[in-house]
């Protein structure tokens, strides 16, 4: 018999070596399990530092709040950790910004405001707040800091808008700070966004433009100058009055002295006269003559003496010159005086 | 035999996987700040505001989330006119919250649309309210908290309107009210002239007070001096009077008076005839002439 001519040979079916397939599968399963376990482990613990609290949500619902330390949770996103800084004072700057190097940048639009007496001022505020309720902070609003910032701005303008410009610029700052603090705290409680206000401080307050600042300074200068002028007048008073008092006293003292002196003159004169009179009274005629000649002897040494020898009926005046009795001692001879026409 | 095993194994694996997937699709979580609406065939069939794990029909139902949190919308500044025709620039903010997600979705749909609507309604409510107030009701020296009451009125009005959109308006506050730009220079000028007036007043008051003091001092000085002069004159006159009295007392008899005149005459003689070149003319009959001529 003739055949087709091809002979195909099929190799016998062979079973794969016993044991090799069995060996791979457990290894793979072990590997997967190990991987899953590792993943589970890494997502099932967390740490909280002491400035924070952690809010734990299970399937989105708040179930726990934990403090500082290491904690465990369910892995794979069943439980999630939301950490919140609760023990830290946060700050808000209004009207200015502090940049990285510590310098101030002015934000005029935030700081310009109207006062209760229709004046305009620039006031910068420094605000401190902190998280009071981490759950509310996380979930009650979608931007609690922004809400707080806007609330503060509105209450600041409420208070400053009811204050006089002089109070804002000088002595009313404490009061403004307190009022803003009270209003914001009260409203913050109503808002309930998990934040609480710690402090409000006025950083700086001044008039709006350079010219206005100059005008305010000019008032202070005028005030001081006015004080100086008044003080000068008081100094004048303090100098002049005592001086005049002294003059007046001196004048009176002097007058007393003069009065006394006049009286003493009189007393002296009277005493002298009394003495002379006593003597005179004893021998009046002799005393008279004596005194007379004493006087004459005092006078004559320096005097020229003429004797009028013309009689009563004489038409011609004749004068006899005499030398001084005392000095020359010789009586002068009578001589004709010159005719007087 | 082994093929069967493999097929069973694969089918089992696929079934497990499918169950897993279905299971996962039947669950959804809701956060504390969310509403979740279950949507079937593009219709909202259920709403929940409870946080946690919830169930729905797998694959068929989908979930749409809406924010339950309070949101802030800052309305851009706008000009309003008060009752007394004064212009002011007002910047306010609105705190709002979705209260009814279904209605919100039906009427507005997204936050952007909601903000638009709030913008328009709040602006209108505020403008209307401001037109019933004088500028002095906003800018005055009364208690700052009173303005919050005005803001509450705006909030109440807008909140009523917002209910139809499934929104609660929690608060409206004006965070900045200013005079329009064009008024600013006028205000600055007024502030400057006010301060100048104050400065002038201080100067004038100071000068006035100083001149009062000086005039008073001068007056007092004059009085002091003239009083002293008067007193001094009085004293000197007293002295003079006493002098006269003492002398009169001393020369009380005629004899004494004559003697006194005699001494005075002699003193007068002595004082007038001292010095150089004095000349005396004696009468021939005088005692002295007789003496001198040896009679």
A84-104 residue pLDDT tens: 999 899 999 998 888 877 777
pLDDT bucket at A264, cuts 50 / 70 / 90: very high
- A82/A92 Cα distance (integer angstroms): 23
Predicted pLDDT at A311: 59
What DSSP letter does each residue of A217-279 carry, written as one string?
A: HHHHHHHHHHHHHHHHHHHHHHHHHHHHHHHHHHHHHHHHHHHHHHHHHHHHHHHHHHHHHHH
pLDDT per residue as tens digits for the range A233-262: 999 999 999 999 999 999 999 999 999 999
Beta bridge partners of A190: none
Instruction: Choose the most confident range, by mean pLDDT, from A107-111, A217-221, B289-293.
Output: A217-221
Helical (H) or strand (E) element with B98: strand B87-98
Q: Is the pLDDT of residue B266 over 70?
A: yes
Calculate the CA dihedral of residues B158, B162, B163, B166 and round it to 10 degrees. Answer: -150
B119 Cα to chain A: minimum distance (Å): 16
pLDDT for position B92: 92
Closest CA to A127 of A203, A194, A191: A203
The interface residues of chain B toward chain A in range 216-235, judged by CB-CB distance below 8 A, are 216-218, 220-221, 224-225, 227-229, 231-235
pLDDT of residue A328: 46
pLDDT over threshold 50, residue A330: no
Q: What is the pLDDT of residue A340?
A: 41
pLDDT attached to residue B198: 94
**Which residues from chain B sit within 8 angstroms of residue A119, using beta carbons?**
187, 191
User: With contact defined as beta carbons under 8 Å apart, do A173 and A156 qualify?
Assistant: no
Quickly state the pLDDT bin for A321 (edges 50, 70, 90). Answer: low
Tell if the CB–CB gap between B214 and A237 is shorter than 8 Å: yes
Task: Kindly determine whether residue B148 and residue A215, on different chains, have CB atoms separated by under 8 Å.
Answer: no
Confidence tier at B270 by pLDDT (50, 70, 90): confident
Residues of A in contact with B185 (CB under 8 A): none
Question: What is the structure's pLDDT at A323?
Answer: 54
The more confidently predicted of residues A306 and A252 is: A252
CA–CA gap between residue B86 and residue B186 (Å, rounded): 14
Q: Which residue of B has its CA nearest to A321?
A: B281
Phi then psi for A131, rounded to 5 degrees? -80, 125
Alpha carbons A178 and A161: distance in angstroms, whole number: 15
| pLDDT band with cut points at 50, 70 and 90 for residue A326 | very low
Q: What is the value of pTM for the model shown? A: 0.72
Chain A residue numbers touching B295 (CB-CB < 8 A): none
pLDDT of residue A334: 43
Bigger pLDDT: A231 or A331? A231
What DSSP state is assigned to residue A141? B
Instruction: List the single residue in A118, A208, A229 with the smallest CB-CB distance to B139.
Output: A118
B2 or B96: which leads in pLDDT: B96
Chain B nearest-CA distance from A79, in A, is 11
Tokens standing for B94? Answer: 């609105």
> What pLDDT digit, counting tens, does each position of A22-56 carry?
778 888 888 888 888 888 888 888 889 989 999 99
Can you tell me the mean pLDDT for A259-287?
88
How far is the C-alpha of A142 from the C-alpha of A88, rounded, in Å?
20
Residues of A in contact with B31 (CB under 8 A): 57, 60, 139
Has residue B262 got a pLDDT over 60? yes
Mean pLDDT for A182-210 is 93
Q: What is the mean pLDDT of chain A?
A: 84
B251 pLDDT band, cuts 50/70/90, is confident
Judged by CB atoms within 8 Å, which residues 234-273 of B form the interface with A?
234-236, 238-240, 242-244, 246-247, 249-251, 255-256, 259-260, 262-263, 266, 269-270, 273
How far apart are the C-alpha atoms of B32 and B52, rounded to whole Å?
A: 8
Average pLDDT over residues A262-271: 90
**Helix, strand, or coil here: B73?**
strand
Residue B141: the pLDDT is: 82
Rounded to the nearest angstrom, the minimum Cα separation between A73 and chain B is 16
Give the count of beta carbons closer than 10 Å to the beta carbon of residue A13.
5
Q: Select from A16, A55, A107, A118 the residue whose CB has the most chain B CBs within 10 Å, as the one to mutate to test that interface.
A: A118
Which residues are bridge partners to A79 per DSSP? A58
pLDDT in tens, B166-196: 999 999 999 998 888 888 889 999 999 999 9
Best residue of A143, A150, A211, A213 to probe chain B, by most B CBs closer than 10 Å? A150
CA distances from B158 to A108, A147, A271, B171 (A): 31, 19, 120, 9
pLDDT at B60: 87
What stretches of chain A adopt beta strand conformation (E)?
45-48, 52-58, 61-66, 69-72, 79-85, 90-94, 96-98, 104-106, 112-114, 120-131, 195-206, 303-308, 319-322
Rounded to 10 deg, the angle between the A173-191 and A144-160 helix axes is 140
Residue with tokens 């922004």: A146
The residue-averaged pLDDT of A173-196 equals 94
Query: Between vectors from CA A102 to CA A100 and to CA A108, what angle results, nearest 5°?
Result: 95
* Pairing between β-strand B87-98 and β-strand B167-178 as defined by DSSP bridges: antiparallel
SS3 state of residue B38: strand
Res. A315 pLDDT band, cuts 50 70 90: low
Asked whether residue B272 carries a pLDDT value surpassing 80, the answer given is no
Please report the pLDDT score of residue A162 as a whole number.
92
Mean pLDDT throughout A114-121?
91
Q: For B27-52, what is each residue's pLDDT tens digit?
A: 899 999 999 999 888 888 889 988 88
User: For A59, which of B52, B177, B227 is closest by C-beta distance?
Assistant: B52
Q: In chain B, which among 82-111 make CB contacts under 8 A with chain A?
A: 92-93, 95
> What pLDDT does residue A333 have?
42
Cα distance between residue B98 and residue B162, in whole Å: 10
Contact indicator for A334, A314 with CB cutoff of 8 Å = no
- Res A189: pLDDT: 93
Q: How confident is the model at residue A150 (pLDDT cuts 50, 70, 90)?
A: very high
């Amino acid at each position: 018999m003739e055949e087709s001519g091809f002979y195909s040979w099929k190799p016998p079916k062979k079973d794969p070596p016993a044991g090799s397939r069995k060996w791979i599968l457990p290894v793979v399963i072990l590997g997967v399990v190990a991987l899953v376990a590792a993943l589970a482990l890494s997502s099932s613990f967390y740490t909280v530092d002491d400035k924070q609290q952690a809010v734990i949500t299970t399937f989105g619902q708040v179930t726990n709040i934990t403090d500082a330390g290491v904690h465990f949770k369910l892995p794979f996103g069943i439980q999630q950790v939301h950490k919140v800084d609760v023990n830290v004072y946060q700050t808000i700057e209004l009207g200015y910004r502090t940049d990285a190097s510590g310098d101030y940048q002015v934000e005029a639009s935030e700081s310009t405001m109207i006062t209760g007496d229709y004046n305009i001022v620039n006031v910068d505020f420094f605000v401190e707040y902190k998280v009071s309720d981490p759950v509310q902070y996380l979930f009650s609003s979608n931007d609690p800091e922004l809400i707080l910032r806007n609330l503060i701005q509105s209450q600041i303008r409420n208070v400053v808008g009811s204050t006089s410009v002089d109070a804002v610029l000088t002595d009313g700052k404490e009061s403004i700070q307190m009022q803003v603090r009270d209003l914001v705290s009260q409203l913050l409680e109503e808002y309930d966004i998990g934040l609480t206000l710690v402090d409000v401080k006025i950083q700086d307050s001044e008039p709006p433009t350079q010219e206005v600042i100059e005008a305010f300074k000019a008032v202070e200068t005028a005030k001081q100058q006015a004080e100086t002028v008044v003080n000068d007048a008081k100094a004048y008073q303090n100098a002049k009055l005592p001086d005049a008092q002294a003059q007046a006293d001196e004048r009176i003292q002097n007058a007393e002295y003069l009065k006394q002196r006049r009286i003493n003159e009189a007393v002296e004169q009277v005493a002298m006269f009394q003495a002379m009179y006593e003597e005179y009274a004893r021998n009046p005629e002799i005393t008279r003559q004596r005194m007379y000649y004493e006087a004459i002897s005092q006078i004559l040494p320096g005097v020229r003496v003429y004797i009028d020898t013309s009689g009563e009926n004489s038409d011609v005046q004749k004068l006899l010159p005499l030398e001084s009795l005392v000095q020359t001692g010789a009586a002068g001879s009578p001589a004709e005086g010159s005719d007087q026409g | 035999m082994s093929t069967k095993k493999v097929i069973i194994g694969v089918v089992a694996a696929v079934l497990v996987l499918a169950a897993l997937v279905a299971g996962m699709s039947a669950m959804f979580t809701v956060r504390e700040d969310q509403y979740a609406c279950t949507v079937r065939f593009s219709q909202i069939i259920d709403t929940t505001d409870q946080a946690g794990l919830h169930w729905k029909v797998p694959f068929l139902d989908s979930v749409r989330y809406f924010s339950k949190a309070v949101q802030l919308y800052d309305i851009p500044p706008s000009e309003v006119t008060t009752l007394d025709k004064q212009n002011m620039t007002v910047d306010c903010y609105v705190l709002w919250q979705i209260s009814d997600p279904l209605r919100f979705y039906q009427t507005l749909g997204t936050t952007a649309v909601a903000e638009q609507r709030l913008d328009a309604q709040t602006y209108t409510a505020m403008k209307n309210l401001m037109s019933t107030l004088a500028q002095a009701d906003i800018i005055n020296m009364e208690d700052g908290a009173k303005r919050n009451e005005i803001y509450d009125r705006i909030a109440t009005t807008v909140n009523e309107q917002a209910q139809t959109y499934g929104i609660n308006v929690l608060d409206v506050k004006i965070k900045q009210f200013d005079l329009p730009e064009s008024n600013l220079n006028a205000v600055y000028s007024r502030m400057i002239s006010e301060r100048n007036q104050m400065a002038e007043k201080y100067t004038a008051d100071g000068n006035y007070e100083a001149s009062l003091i000086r005039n008073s001092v001068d007056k007092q000085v004059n009085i002091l001096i003239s009083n002293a002069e008067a007193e001094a004159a009085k004293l000197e006159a007293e002295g003079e009077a006493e002098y006269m009295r003492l002398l009169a007392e001393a020369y009380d008899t005629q004899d004494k008076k004559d003697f006194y005149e005699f001494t005075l005459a002699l003193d007068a003689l002595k004082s007038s005839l001292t010095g150089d070149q004095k000349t005396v003319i004696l009468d021939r009959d005088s005692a002295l002439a007789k003496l001198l001529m040896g009679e």
